[in-house]
Amino acid sequence: MTKTERYRRVSKFELHDMIGEGAMGVVWKAYDTVIRRYVALKLLPTRIGKTSDARQRFMREARAAGVLQHPNLVTLYDLGEAEGQLYIAMELVEGRDLSAMIAANDPLALERKLDIVVEVLEGLAYAHERGVIHRDIKPSNIRIAADGRVKIMDFGIARLQTADMTGSGAIVGTPNYMAPEQVTNGAITAATDLFSVGCLLYELLSYRKPFEGETVHGVLYQVLTTEPKPLRTMAPSIPAALERVVAKALNKVPEDRYQSARPMQQAVLGIRAALSGAEPTERLPPRWTTLPAPILRLVTHTPLRWRVAVLSALAVVALILAFVSYSPIMSPAPEPPRIVVTHPSPPPPPLPAPDPRTLDEMIAAPVARGTNPALIALRDSALASRERARRAGAMKNNVRSLALAEAMLFTAEQARRGGNQAKASNAYVGAVPEYRLARIQAIALRAEAHNAIERATPIVKALATRPVAARAATSLARAESLYAAMDYPLAKLAAQDAEQVGVATGVAPPTPQPADPRAAIGVLLTDLSRAVASEHVENLRLLFPSMSTADGASWSAFFERATRLQASYTPEPITVENRVANANVLAVYRFVPRGGGAQHEERTKLAMSFISTPGGWRIDSVRDLGK
Of the candidates 512, 454, 516, the one whose C-alpha atom is nearest the C-alpha of residue 483 is 454
| Active-site annotation holds for 497 | no
Helices 421-463, 517-534: crossing angle, 10 deg rounding: 50
Based on its alpha-carbon atoms, the radius of gyration of the chain, rounded to whole angstroms, reads 37
- The DSSP 8-state label assigned to residue 73 in this structure reads B
What does the H/E/C string look like for 452-508? HHHHHHHHHHHHCCCCCHHHHHHHHHHHHHHHHCCCHHHHHHHHHHHHHHHHHCCCC
All residues at 6 or more sequence positions from 557 whose CB lies less than 8 Å from its CB, including other chains: none
Catalytic site residue from 78, 97, 136, 164: 136
Helices 261-277, 240-249: crossing angle, 10 deg rounding: 170
Distance CA 343, CA 38 (A): 81
Q: Cα dist. 327→313, 315, 322, 469 in Å?
A: 22, 19, 9, 115
Q: Quickly list DSSP for 205-269.
A: HHSS-SS--SSHHHHHHHHHH-PPPPHHHH-TTS-HHHHHHHHHHT-SSGGGS-SSHHHHHHHHH
Strands in 5-57 per DSSP E: 9-10, 13-22, 25-32, 37-43
**Helices and strands (H and E) in the chain: how many:** 22, 14
Distance CA 414, CA 398 (A): 23
On whether the CB atoms of residues 21 and 63 are closer than 8 A, the answer is no
Distance CA 220, CA 230 (A): 19
In what helix (H) or strand (E) does residue 562 lie, and over which residues does it extend? strand 562-571
Half-sphere exposure of residue 70, counting CA atoms within 13 Å on the CB side? 22
What does the H/E/C string look like for 391-407? HHCHHHHCCCCHHHHHH
Q: Cα dist. 621→158, 252, 524, 541, 548 in Å?
A: 46, 59, 14, 12, 10
Half-sphere exposure of residue 244, counting CA atoms within 13 Å on the CB side? 6
The dihedral built from the CA positions of residue 482, 487, 488 and 489, taken in this order, carries a sign that is negative
Of the candidates 578, 489, 497, 569, the one whose C-alpha atom is nearest the C-alpha of residue 532 is 569
Distance CA 144, CA 253 (A): 31
What is the rounded (10 degree) CA torsion for 16, 17, 19, 20?
100
Q: Quickly list DSSP for 395-438.
A: HHHT-TTHHHHHHHHHHHHHHHHHT-HHHHHHHHHHHHHHHHHH
Report, as residue numbers or ranges, the catalytic residues. Answer: 136
